[in-house]
Structure 1
Amino acid sequence: MDVITNVLADRSPVLASVAIILVTVFIASRLFDRESLSHLPLVGAEFGDAEKRRKAYITNSLDFYKKGYELYKSKPFRITSLDGDVIVLPRHLMEEVRQLPDECIDIHKAFDVMNEQKHLGMGDTRRTKFLVHIVQHDLTRGLVRVNPRLSAETNRAVHSELPPCDDWTPAVVYSTLLRIVAIVSGALFIGEELCRSEEYIQASIGYTLDFIGAVENLKKWHRRWRWFGRYFTPEVDKLFSDRKKAHNFLRPIIEQRRAAMKAGREMPDDALQWMLNSVDKFGLTDADLAETQLGMSLAAIHTTTLTLTLIIYDLVIRPDVVNELREEIRTVTAAHNGVMTTQALFEMKLLDSVMKESQRVNPGSTVRFQRFVAKPVTLSDGTYLPAGYMIETAHGLTVSDPELFPNPEEFDAHRFQNLRNGTAEDKLNYKNKEQYQFVTMTKDFMSFGYGRHSCPGRYFAAQEIKLIIARLLLDFDMKMPDGLTERYANLSQGANAFPDPTKEVLFRRVKNT
C-alpha cells in the first residue's frame, strides 16, 4: 500500500495536469457545441436548459415547429429534439441541400440516429443497399408483370379479412387493413401460399409494431442513457424475440429455395427469389437475406397501412367523393376489359388526387428529409451546417401553407387532379404537371422524401394502395357508426400524428357484386 501511495505522490503533478487537460477539453467541447449553432435562432429557449427543452419537446414539438416556421420561414432555425439540437431548414434551401454528396449529409447515419439502430442491431448499411437494389432493380421494374397477381391477392385478402357484411357490419379499420396489407405485400415478397400463413402474417405484423414501440420508448430516455434504458424497455426484448422467430420461419424456406435452384427447377417470381439471385454479389449471408426480408416488410407494411387508414377516414364522411371514385374506377376498369392493369391504375386520376390530398392534410410527421451532417458545409446563402448535427425540414407545415396551397384546411378531393389538368390556380408553377402525382416528390411535397434517397418503394406502395381502395369501394359501401358525422381525429405524439387505430367503420357489401 505504501508503494502505491508513493507512486501516486510522485506522479500527482502529472495526474493533476492530465485531469486539468481533460476538464479543459470537455469544457471547450461544450462551448464549441454551443458556439457552433449560436448563429441560428433557438425555438423553445423559454423552457430553460437543453434537458428541459428536450422534455418540453415531447408535448410541445408541433408548437415549436409552428413558431419557428412562422418566425423564420425563409431562414434556418434550431430546436432541441429528443436526440439533441437539430437544424430546421427552410423550403428554398432544399434543392441545394439535396444535391450535396453523401459524404457531407449522410442518410444512413441519420437512420441510425432516428431508429436507434445501434441499440436495436439494425444498422447494417450493406443490407440497406441490398434492399434498395432489390426494390429499384426488381420490384419497381417488374410492377407491370406482377400486377395481375397483386390484383388477385388483393381481391382475395379484402374478402377474407372483412366479415361477410351482408348488412352493416363494424370493422376496426387499422387492424383489418394491417392484415390485408401484410398479405398482399407478402404475395410479392415471399409468394402467394406463404403470405397467407398465419405464422408469416403475425411475424411480419409483430415485427413492425414492436420495432415502432421499441424506438418510441427508447427515445424517452436521454440519449446518453439509452444503452442502459434498452434493458428496461420490454419492446426491445420483444423485437429481438420477433426477429428470432422470423429468422426461424424464413431459414427453412431459404434452404428449400436454394435446393430447388440447384435442382434446376422453375423458381417463383417474388422478392425472396430476387434476393437469392443477387445475394452473393453483395457478399451477404442467408441470415442477412432473412434480415432484409424483415426490413422490406417493415418498410412496406406500416406506412402503407397508415396511409390507407387515413384515406378511409377521409372518405367515409364524404359519400359524394366515394360515388365519384366508384364511377371513375368502374369506367376505367371497363375500358381495360375489366382488369385493373397498371395503366388502368394510372388513369384513375381522381383516386390519385384523393390519395395525395389525404397525405397533404395528414402529413404524418411534421418533418422530412432528416440527414446527419458528416462534414461541415456552408450553403450559398451563408448558412453554416456544422458536422455532428441532424438537419430536417418542416414538411408538414409546408403542405398546409396557404401561400402554396389555397384553402389548406379544406380537404379538396379534386385539388391535385385539377392541378394536373391545369384547371386550378397553381401557386407552385411546375412546368411538368405530372409532378402533382401521388408518387412524385418536390421540395414542396416530401411525403416520400426528396432527392436521390427518396423512398424507392413508392411506386409499389401507390399500386398496392390503389388496388386495395378500388376493391373496397367497388365491393363495399361504408359509413360511420350511428350518431357520428365528424372524421375520426388523428392522434398526436411529439412531431408525429397518426390515425386512431381503435376506430370502427361500418361496411356493407354492395349489391350485385
Structure 2
Amino acid sequence: MAAFNIGMFEDKFGYIVTSVAVLIALALWSARKPSLARYPLLGSEYGGAEKRGQAFLAHATELFQRGYEEFKTSIYRLTTPDGDHLIVPNCHLDELRRRPDDELDVQEAFEKTFENKHVHLFPAKDKSTIVNNVVKSDLTRNLTRINPRFSVVVAQTVAEEMPPCSDGTWTPVVLSSVLLRIIAIVSGNIFLGPELCHEEEYMYCAIMFTMDLVAASAALKKWPSFLRSVAASYLVPQVARVRDHRRRMKEFIKPVVEKRLKIIRSGDEEKRPDDLFQWMMEKAAAAGITDAGDLTDMLLLLLLAAIHTTSLAVTNIFYDLVIRPDVVEELKAEIKSVLADSGGIMTTQALNDMKLVDSVMRESQRLNPPFIDAFRRYTLKPITLQNGDYIPEGSYIETANTAILNDPELYPNPDTFDPHRFSNLRNNPDLPDPLGFKSRELYQFVSVTKENMSFGFGRHACPGRFFAANEIKMIMAQILLQYDIKMPDRETERYQSVGSGVVKAPDPTKEIMFRRVR
C-alpha cells in the first residue's frame, strides 16, 4: 500500500475544485433556463441536447421544413447550439410584431446568433438605435437626391473592378470576390465619402471584419456554450482577427472623427460632408457620443449590414441568371427601355420602372434567403398569446422563413425559378393573387410581409433595404449591359449554396465566364 503523500492530494485538489465549480455553474445555468417542455421537441432522434445542437448546424433546412409541415399552426421546440428555441408559426406573427420592445427584444436575439459576448459586434442599444435611425430616416429620405450621382459611382466602380474581359475572349471571374470590392466601394462612397471609400485600409477592414466575424461565430457554435469563452480566447483564431480589424478600423477612422467633430462644433455648413457617417456623427454628438471607439463600432455594424448581405444577394442573382440566357436578354431589353425613357439617368422613377429586374431580385431572394429562419426575438417578459399559448420569459423565438417561402399554398410551383412571378402579379390585376394582398405593390423586392421575411418583419425590418434595392439594380444594369455571361465548360447546373445552421450563402469560390459586349 502506497504511503499517503500530501502532494498527491494537492495535485488532485485543483482538478476537484474545478470540476465542482463547472458542475455548479452548469446547474445554475440550467436552472436559469425557462422550461419549454410543454412544447413538442423536433429532432429528438439525434440524441441528447449537444448532439441535437450539432445536428442543427448540419441539417437546419431539413429540420425547419419538417417542423413547418408537422406543426404548421402550432409552436414547437428545436435544439440549436445555444439551447432550445421556440419556433412560432406565422399565424402568430401579426400579434407578436405588435408586442413592445420591453417584451420582445431583437438585439439580444441577434447578439446570441453572432456570439456577441465574444466578438462584440453590437454596440450598446442606444448606439445601435442611432445607426438604425440614421439609415431609416436620413439615408432613405435622401435616396431620390442621391440616386443619379450614385449610379455614376456604380458605373465607374464596375468598370474599375471588373476584369477587362475584352478582345472577344471569355474570362473566368470569381464574381463573389469582385462584388465584395464593388459594393464596399460604392456603399463606402455614400457612407464615408468619395475619398475614404477607395482607401485600401478601409476596404480591407470593411470586407474582412464581417468574413472573420461570421467564421468566428460559426466556429464558436461548435463548442458547448460554457466553454466558448475559453475557445474564444485560445482556440478560435478568427476572434482575434475580428478584434484586430476593429482596432485597425478605429485607427483609420480616428482622424476622420476628430476632423468632423471640429466641423460639427464650428457649425460650418460649407465644410460639412454629405455622407451617412456625418449624419450619424451629428446624431451621436447630440446624444453625447463622440468617442472614436464607439463610432467605429457603429460604423462596423453599418458595414456588416450593408456590404456582405448585398454582395450575397447579387451573387445569388447572377448564379440564377447565368443558367437562364433567355431571362438575361429580357432584363437587358427592359433596362435599355427604361434608361431610354429617363435620358440614360438612373433616377428613382427609372429604378421603380424596372419591374422585371425587381421580380428577378425577389424570386432569387425567395429561393436563396440569407437566413433559413426569421423574426428572431428574445422574451424579456412572459407572453400569453391570444390562443392561450404561453411563452416564458428568457425564451428565444423565431420562425421558419425558408419553409414559408417554399409553401405551394403561398407560392405555386415553389421549386421553380419564375422570373415573372412577381412582375406578373404587379402588372396584371386580373391574375389571381395567392396571398390576397391589399396592394399588389407588396410583391416588390423591398416589401416586408409575413410570407417573405428575408428583410425581417415588423418595425425592426431592415431599414436599409431601399438603399440596397437601388444599389442591386444599378449593379445588375451595369454588368448586364456591358458583359455577356455564361457558365464555365462542363457546368450546367446552378451552383449550390453553402452554409451552417441558419446561415445560407452562395458558394464564394465559383466562377462565371464574362465577355465584354461587342
The answer to whether TM tops 0.5 is: yes
**How many equivalent residue pairs?**
489
Q: Are positions 1:173 and 2:180 aligned together?
A: no
Task: After TM superposition, give the deviation of residue 330 of structure 1 in Å.
Answer: 0.7
Q: Confirm or deny: 8 A CA contact 1:126 1:282 kept in the other structure.
A: no
Task: After TM superposition, give the deviation of residue 129 of structure 1 in Å.
Answer: 0.6
Which secondary structure state, in structure 2, belongs to the residue aligned with residue 484 of structure 1?
A: coil
Cα deviation, 1:40-79, whole Å, max 9, x if unaligned, reads 1100112222122122222222222122111111111110
Cα deviation, 1:203-224, whole Å, max 9, x if unaligned, reads 2111121111111111111112
Q: Are positions 1:104 and 2:84 aligned together?
A: no
Paired residue for 1:184?
A: 186
Paired residue for 1:143?
A: 143
Which secondary structure state, in structure 1, belongs to the residue aligned with residue 388 of structure 2?
A: coil
Q: Confirm or deny: 8 A CA contact 2:87 2:400 kept in the other structure.
A: yes
Paired residue for 1:392?
A: 398
Q: Are positions 1:128 and 2:128 aligned together?
A: yes
Q: Confirm or deny: 8 A CA contact 2:65 2:403 kept in the other structure.
A: yes
Task: After TM superposition, give the deviation of residue 465 of structure 1 in Å.
Answer: 0.5
Paired residue for 1:417?
A: 423
Aligned partner letter, 2:136 = Q
Cα deviation, 1:256-287, whole Å, max 9, x if unaligned, reads 23344538343221012112322222221232
CA distance in 1, matches of 2:55, 2:282: 49
Q: Are positions 1:214 and 2:216 aligned together?
A: yes
Ranges in structure 1 where 5+ consecutive residues have no aligned partner:
1-18
Cα deviation, 1:358-410, whole Å, max 9, x if unaligned, reads 00111232100000011111101121111111000001000101011000000
Ranges in structure 2 where 5+ consecutive residues have no aligned partner:
1-19
Alignment counterpart, residue 194 of structure 1, candidates 193, 196, 203: 196
Paired residue for 2:163?
A: 163
Q: Are positions 1:359 and 2:365 aligned together?
A: yes
CA distance in 2, matches of 1:27, 1:345: 57
Task: After TM superposition, give the deviation of residue 114 of structure 1 in Å.
Answer: 1.2
CA distance in 1, matches of 2:57, 2:432: 38
Alignment counterpart, residue 352 of structure 2, candidates 315, 338, 346: 346
Alignment counterpart, residue 282 of structure 2, candidates 277, 283, 289: 277
Paired residue for 1:498?
A: 505
Q: Confirm or deny: 8 A CA contact 2:61 2:402 kept in the other structure.
A: no
Cα deviation, 1:136-174, whole Å, max 9, x if unaligned, reads 121111111111221111001111111111121111010
Alignment counterpart, residue 324 of structure 1, candidates 311, 320, 330: 330
CA distance in 1, matches of 2:256, 2:370: 36
Q: Confirm or deny: 8 A CA contact 2:33 2:394 kept in the other structure.
A: no
Aligned partner letter, 2:516 = R
Cα deviation, 1:9-64, whole Å, max 9, x if unaligned, reads xxxxxxxxxx9xx98x9979958957x31221100112222122122222222222
Task: After TM superposition, give the deviation of residue 499 of structure 1 in Å.
Answer: 0.5
CA distance in 1, matches of 2:32, 2:348: 55
CA distance in 1, matches of 2:229, 2:29: 22
Paired residue for 1:39?
A: 38
Aligned partner letter, 2:274 = D
Aligned partner letter, 1:299 = A
Q: Confirm or deny: 8 A CA contact 2:373 2:399 kept in the other structure.
A: yes
Aligned partner letter, 1:253 = V
Q: Confirm or deny: 8 A CA contact 1:94 1:443 kept in the other structure.
A: yes
CA pair 31-47 structure 1, distance change in 2 beyond 3 A: farther
Question: What RMSD over aligned residues (CA atoms) do the two structures have, in Å?
Answer: 1.9
Q: Confirm or deny: 8 A CA contact 1:491 1:500 kept in the other structure.
A: yes
CA distance in 2, matches of 1:155, 1:343: 18
Q: Are positions 1:460 and 2:467 aligned together?
A: yes
Cα deviation, 1:76-101, whole Å, max 9, x if unaligned, reads 11101011000001111111111111
Which secondary structure state, in structure 2, belongs to the residue aligned with residue 337 of structure 1?
A: coil
CA distance in 1, matches of 2:225, 2:317: 35
Paired residue for 2:52?
A: 53
Aligned partner letter, 2:396 = M
Q: Confirm or deny: 8 A CA contact 1:174 1:501 kept in the other structure.
A: yes
User: Sequence identity of aligned pairs in percent?
Assistant: 46
Q: Which moved more, 1:80-89 or 1:203-212?
A: 203-212
CA pair 31-127 structure 1, distance change in 2 beyond 3 A: closer
Cα deviation, 1:218-273, whole Å, max 9, x if unaligned, reads 11111122111111210010000000000101111222233445383432210121
Task: After TM superposition, give the deviation of residue 489 of structure 1 in Å.
Answer: 1.3
Paired residue for 1:3?
A: none
Which secondary structure state, in structure 2, belongs to the residue aligned with residue 452 of structure 1?
A: helix
Aligned partner letter, 2:284 = V
Q: Confirm or deny: 8 A CA contact 1:317 1:479 kept in the other structure.
A: yes
Q: Are positions 1:485 and 2:484 aligned together?
A: no
CA pair 29-280 structure 1, distance change in 2 beyond 3 A: closer
Q: Confirm or deny: 8 A CA contact 1:130 1:282 kept in the other structure.
A: no
Aligned partner letter, 2:201 = E
